[in-house]
């Protein structure tokens, strides 16, 4: 691996990536992964990884099992070779995994991703897979189902074996031979059934001697009665082996026929395993996809070094390449300067490898042609190089290689030699690298470099924050602020004599002290401003939360008001329909009265009563208000009382006592409102109300009946139509409606016939007729009610 990449610990990341793979070829891909230098290619690789992350989150990670590269075996089979049972089982297992991944993809095949090409390259072959698995049980066993010939041979072997064992069982249980046997058992030697006989009795058991025990006390004899059976078994075993060999050749030939498709599918499977390993690594690191550019712009938000424990690492924000091309990072030792450099370099390399990086969304990284690094102590005794010499040797090579497409990361620039000369050399090196238009991030302890960054355009200071009170670094990177050397404060806190510390301060030049004082003042102001900003952000967040709550309450109130208005509209429509029906009925009565030219007192009283009823139904709110004037609360209202808002007929709860102007705060459902006390009724005291109020309020029991003078039954079955007409007649009778129009359509005449047959027997029907021109003719029936 490139030495610079290894310094940034890219090899450790690739090892973590390899651990996420399950296929050997995918593991090799992970370990040999290298950064890409073309922006479009890097974007494509990142998009593939991001798509894999999304798919894993929605559908779970596909299982790649233990797929093996069977290319060599398949090519041998293609050339006519015979594969072993183990090789054929590996091919079947690989085909099974290819099929399962293909089926997993079928769940979302309509979703377009950058991985579709690899998924479409998976060709399942269930025929060959099942043929192999049905024929081969394990590496040492072929199934009887492999062929009918093999099944027949094995059946014959079992029959012959059974006959041989029967003969042998008779021998070992015979009193004639039992005394000559070493053990009353049947065993095998060279595939033939034998019995163990004592050496001195070998002549008493006629048969063939096949073996002798190690001690010589036992000989294994094949009795003459089973010689033929053993011969048959031996012959059948030979046929069995021939048949197994034929089956393996046949399966090998089948596998060879599909060699190209299986090898291509396996390659796609390995690539998918590699990509999903990237996705798993991203999930473990809580990584996200950065925005990529090739202009050298870096804007990392909440970036975390992936090797450090994710529960301990402190996120940092790193900016480079926008308003400045050089970042000079200062601060005390162990403050996080080197980790910042490594984080910047490693995350850049990871993104260029197509790996998501552990940082916040909308972070930005650049593709660099070269990432050049000088970090760590490279002192070499063998090469007679000191630390300074080793660093300078490395930096000389960096200067030679650096160009406008380079990212240069240098730790402790100019350290290891005289401070004055080292600082001057460090400034000179930075100027040379800037002349080559490289993007640079460097750490240092030199105050001269802080001043260089302050006075040079395109160079910016940064520092790693350090808490002097606790003597602990916070590991936060602060861009635009030079770091203060806290050597005196740290030494004093650790117990150094004040006299020594004060003397050291005197030895520091006045310019250095002034510079450090300025830096200290800036740091205090920065911390103060940061607290103010944090407080302001907290208050803003709280205000936004309250605003959101208020908006939600307003939205709910509007929705409830709209529902109430809609309910009121529906009620108004019912009132209009009822009033219209009653008006029609009154008009008919008036017509009859005019025709009769004489109206009795009883008829006039009935007509007046109907007019009063219609007025009551037409304006219920006014009626209620008029009735409400007669009501008085039985006692003063208290908080928690259940009341009725009289004019809108809504139950509510009292939230506050009445005000001086007679307004009461109540809650009806989710709405809080103020209502006049005169409009409230105490629900608990309802029984004490005057009896005439209750009677007036429930004048008619027909308020819930929806009156109509017309009923449409077109499209209904005869039975349903009759039920609808029956209900309409009942409603019309309750509402004193004398005429009803039934629309049944012309059609086949079935509805008309059944409805008219029903009307002939109905007690409330006075007469009925078909409609005339203008009424609907034979498509309607006009019913006159009693």
Predicted pLDDT at 123:
93
Distance of alpha carbon 410 from alpha carbon 727, whole angstroms: 94
Question: CA end-to-end span of the chain, whole Å?
Answer: 105
SS3 content of the chain, % helix, strand, coil (to 5): 55, 15, 30
% of the chain at pLDDT higher than 70? 82
Q: List the structure tokens of 274.
A: 């590699």
Whether residue 296 has pLDDT greater than 80? yes
Domain boundaries of the chain, sorted by first residue? 3-125+258-285, 146-251, 291-468+475-482, 607-697, 710-785
The pTM of the full predicted model, rounded to 2 decimals, is: 0.61
Distance of alpha carbon 745 from alpha carbon 780, whole angstroms: 6
Helices (H), 318-418: 337-352, 387-401
Whether residue 622 has pLDDT greater than 50? no
Supply angle C-alpha 79, 82, 85, rounded to 5: 135
Predicted pLDDT at 623:
47
- In order, the DSSP letters of 100-167 are HHHHHHHTTTTS--TTHHHHHT----HHHHHHHHHHEEETTEE-GGG-HHHHHHHHHHHHHHHHHHHH
Sign of CA dihedral 443, 446, 450, 453: negative
| Banded pLDDT at 77 (limits 50, 70, 90) | very high
Q: Does domain 146-251 have CATH number 1.10.1420.10?
A: yes
Distance of alpha carbon 746 from alpha carbon 749, whole angstroms: 6
Helices (H), 663-717: 691-697
| Banded pLDDT at 382 (limits 50, 70, 90) | very low
| CA-based radius of gyration for the chain | 49
| Banded pLDDT at 698 (limits 50, 70, 90) | very low
Which CATH class, in words, describes the domain spanning 3-125+258-285?
mainly alpha
| Banded pLDDT at 8 (limits 50, 70, 90) | very high
Helix (H, G, I), strand (E, B) or coil at 184: coil
| Banded pLDDT at 694 (limits 50, 70, 90) | very low
pLDDT tens string 320-356: 998 899 999 887 766 678 889 999 999 999 999 999 9
| Banded pLDDT at 388 (limits 50, 70, 90) | confident
Distance of alpha carbon 630 from alpha carbon 169, whole angstroms: 117
Q: Kindly tell me the number of DSSP H helices and DSSP E strands found in the chain.
A: 24, 25
Whether residue 300 has pLDDT greater than 90? yes
Return mean pLDDT, the chain.
82
* Sheet containing 364-366, strands listed edge to edge, beginning at the edge strand earlier in sequence: 291-293, 364-366, 298-303, 316-320
Residues of the binding site: 331-338
Give the H or E element holding residue 265. helix 259-285
Fold matches, 3-125+258-285 and 146-251: yes
Which CATH class, in words, describes the domain spanning 291-468+475-482?
alpha beta
Question: Among residues 43, 12, 47, which one has the least CA distance to residue 30?
Answer: 12
Average pLDDT over residues 272-299: 94
Q: Count of CB atoms within 10 A of residue 476's CB?
A: 16
Classify domain 710-785 by CATH number.
3.30.1370.110
Of these ranges, 32-36, 506-510, 721-725, the one predicted with the greatest mean pLDDT is: 32-36
Q: Does domain 607-697 have CATH number 2.30.30.30?
A: yes
Helix (H, G, I), strand (E, B) or coil at 509: coil
pLDDT tens string 25-63: 999 999 999 999 999 999 999 999 999 999 999 889 999
Residues of the binding site for ATP: 331-338
Q: Which residue has the higher pLDDT, 628 or 91?
A: 91
Distance of alpha carbon 670 from alpha carbon 665, whole angstroms: 13
Q: Are 380 and 408 in contact (CB under 8 A)?
A: no
Average pLDDT over residues 457-476: 73
């Amino acid at each position: 691996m490139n030495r610079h990449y290894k310094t940034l610990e890219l090899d450790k990341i690739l090892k973590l990536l390899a651990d996420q793979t399950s296929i050997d070829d995918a593991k090799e891909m992970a370990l040999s992964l290298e950064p890409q230098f073309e922006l479009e290619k890097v974007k494509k690789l990142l998009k593939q990884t991001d798509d894999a992350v999304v798919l894993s989150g929605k559908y779970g990670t596909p299982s790649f099992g233990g797929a093996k590269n069977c290319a060599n075996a398949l090519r041998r089979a293609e050339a006519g070779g015979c594969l072993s049972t183990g090789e054929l089982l590996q091919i079947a297992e690989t085909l099974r995994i290819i099929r399962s991944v293909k089926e997993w993809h079928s769940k979302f095949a309509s979703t377009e991703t950058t991985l579709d090409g690899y998924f479409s390259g998976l060709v399942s072959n269930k025929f060959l897979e099942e043929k192999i698995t049905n024929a081969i049980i394990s590496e040492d066993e072929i199934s009887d189902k492999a062929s009918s010939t093999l099944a027949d041979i094995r059946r014959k072997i079992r029959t012959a074996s059974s006959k041989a064992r029967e003969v042998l069982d008779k021998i070992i249980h015979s009193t004639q031979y039992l005394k000559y046997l070493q053990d009353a058992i049947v065993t095998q030697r060279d595939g033939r059934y034998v019995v163990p006989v004592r050496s001195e009795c070998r002549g008493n058991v006629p048969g063939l001697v096949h073996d002798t025990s190690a001690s010589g006390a036992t000989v294994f004899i094949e009795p003459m009665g089973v010689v033929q059976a053993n011969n048959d078994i031996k012959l059948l075993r030979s046929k069995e082996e021939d048949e197994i060999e034929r089956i393996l050749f046949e399966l090998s030939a089948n596998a060879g026929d599909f060699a190209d498709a299986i090898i291509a599918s396996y390659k796609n499977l390995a690539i998918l395993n590699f990509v999903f390993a990237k996705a798993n690594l991203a999930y473990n690191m809580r990584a996200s996809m950065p925005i990529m550019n090739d202009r050298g712009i870096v804007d990392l938000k909440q970036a975390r070094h992936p090797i450090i424990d994710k529960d301990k690492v402190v996120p940092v924000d790193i900016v480079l390449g926008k308003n400045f091309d050089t970042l000079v990072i200062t601060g005390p030792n162990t403050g996080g300067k080197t980790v910042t450099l490594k984080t910047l370099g490693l995350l850049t390399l990871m993104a260029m490898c197509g790996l998501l990086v552990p940082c916040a969304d909308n972070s930005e990284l650049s593709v660099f042609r070269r990432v050049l690094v000088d970090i760590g102590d490279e002192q070499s005794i063998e090469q007679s190089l000191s630390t300074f010499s080793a660093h300078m040797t490395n930096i000389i090579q960096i200067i030679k290689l650096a160009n406008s497409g380079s990212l240069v990361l240098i730790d402790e620039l100019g350290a290891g030699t005289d401070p004055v000369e080292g600082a001057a050399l460090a400034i000179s090196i930075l100027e040379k690298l800037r002349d080559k238009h490289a993007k640079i991030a460097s750490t240092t302890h030199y105050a001269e470099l802080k001043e260089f960054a302050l006075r040079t355009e395109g160079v910016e200071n940064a520092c790693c924050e350090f808490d002097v009170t606790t003597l602990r670094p916070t590991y936060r990177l602060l861009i635009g602020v030079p770091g203060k050397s806290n050597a005196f404060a740290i030494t004093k806190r650790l117990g150094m004599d004040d006299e020594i510390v004060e003397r050291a301060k005197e030895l520091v030049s006045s310019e250095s002290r002034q510079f450090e004082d300025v830096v200290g003042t800036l740091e205090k102001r920065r911390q103060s401003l940061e607290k103010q900003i944090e407080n302001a952000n907290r208050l803003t967040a709280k205000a936004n939360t309250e605003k959101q709550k208020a908006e939600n309450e307003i939205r709910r109130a509007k929705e409830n008001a709209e529902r109430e208005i809609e309910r009121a509209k529906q009620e108004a429509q019912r009132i209009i329909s009822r009033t219209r029906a009653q008006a029609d009925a009154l008009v008919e009565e008036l017509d009859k009265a005019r025709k009769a030219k004489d109206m009795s007192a009883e008829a006039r009283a009935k007509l007046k009563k109907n007019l009063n009823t219609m007025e009551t139904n037409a304006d219920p709110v006014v009626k209620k208000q008029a009735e409400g004037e007669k009501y008085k609360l039985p006692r003063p209202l208290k908080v928690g009382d259940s009341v009725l808002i009289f004019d809108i007929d809504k139950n509510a709860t009292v939230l506050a006592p009445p005000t001086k102007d007679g307004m009461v705060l109540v809650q009806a459902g989710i709405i809080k409102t103020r209502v006049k006390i005169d409009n409230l009724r105490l629900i608990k005291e309802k029984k004490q109300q005057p009896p005439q109020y209750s009677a007036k309020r429930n004048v008619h029991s027909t308020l819930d009946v929806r009156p109509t003078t017309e009923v449409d039954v077109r499209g209904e079955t005869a039975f349903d139509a009759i039920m609808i007409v029956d209900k309409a007649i009942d409603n019309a009778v309750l509402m004193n409606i004398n005429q009803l129009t039934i629309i049944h359509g012309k059609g086949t005449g079935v509805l008309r016939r059944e409805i008219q047959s029903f009307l002939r027997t109905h007690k409330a029907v006075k007469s009925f007729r078909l409609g005339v021109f203008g009424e609907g003719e034979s498509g309607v029936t006009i019913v006159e009610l009693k």
